[in-house]
């Protein structure tokens, strides 16, 4: 009976759930979650995402260290899925204008675990910087 009070920390690590958990780690890496980051998470998860799915991903992220998540998730994801997750993490980290140091370190930890080097990510990073530089619209 008392097991009902334990939080459920198991999560089916589907590619979409891996994306949600990765973004939650990224959002919380700098110690604060900005509204822009929450908006990005919700847009990435899509309109079919349920509150229960989001809450399950949050519970999992709170109960599981990123290193353990990476050990479990990396082997389940294809290279294109890994790249998709990393790029969404970068985009989320830059959603509030600048990727904080904690977010940068976490993204590089994920990239390394996913077999992606900084050189692999440079062209994508430049594209995301250009995409998120909305100041050019006011010049």
Q: Is 136 helix (H, G, I), strand (E, B) or coil?
A: helix
Count how many domains the chain has.
1
Does the residue 116 lie in any domain?
yes
Does the residue 86 lie in any domain?
yes
Does the residue 6 lie in any domain?
no
The CATH number that applies at residue 47 is: 1.10.3680.10
C-alpha to C-alpha distance for 109 and 139, rounded to whole angstroms: 36
User: Which residue segment(s) compose the domain that 114 sits in?
Assistant: 15-137
C-alpha to C-alpha distance for 111 and 117, rounded to whole angstroms: 7
Entry pTM: 0.85
Tens-place pLDDT, residues 19-63: 999 999 998 987 777 777 777 788 888 888 888 888 899 899 999
Burial class (CB in 10 A: 0-12, 13-18, 19+), 65: exposed
Query: Which range is least confidently modeled, 51-55, 84-88, 111-115?
Result: 51-55
The angle that helices 51-63 and 35-45 make with each other, rounded to 10 degrees, is 120
């Amino acid at each position: 009976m008392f097991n009902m009070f334990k939080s459920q920390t198991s999560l089916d690590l589907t590619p979409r759930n891996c994306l949600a958990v990765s973004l939650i780690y990224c959002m919380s890496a700098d110690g604060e979650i900005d509204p822009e980051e929450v908006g990005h998470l919700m847009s990435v998860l899509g309109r079919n995402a349920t509150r229960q799915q989001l809450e399950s991903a949050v519970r999992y992220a709170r109960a599981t260290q990123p290193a353990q998540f990476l050990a479990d998730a990396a082997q389940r994801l294809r290279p294109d899925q890994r790249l998709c997750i990393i790029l969404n993490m970068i985009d989320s980290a830059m959603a509030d204008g600048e990727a904080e140091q904690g977010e940068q370190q976490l993204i590089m930890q994920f990239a390394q675990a996913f077999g992606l080097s900084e050189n692999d990510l440079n062209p994508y990073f430049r594209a995301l910087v250009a995409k998120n530089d909305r100041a050019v619209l006011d010049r």
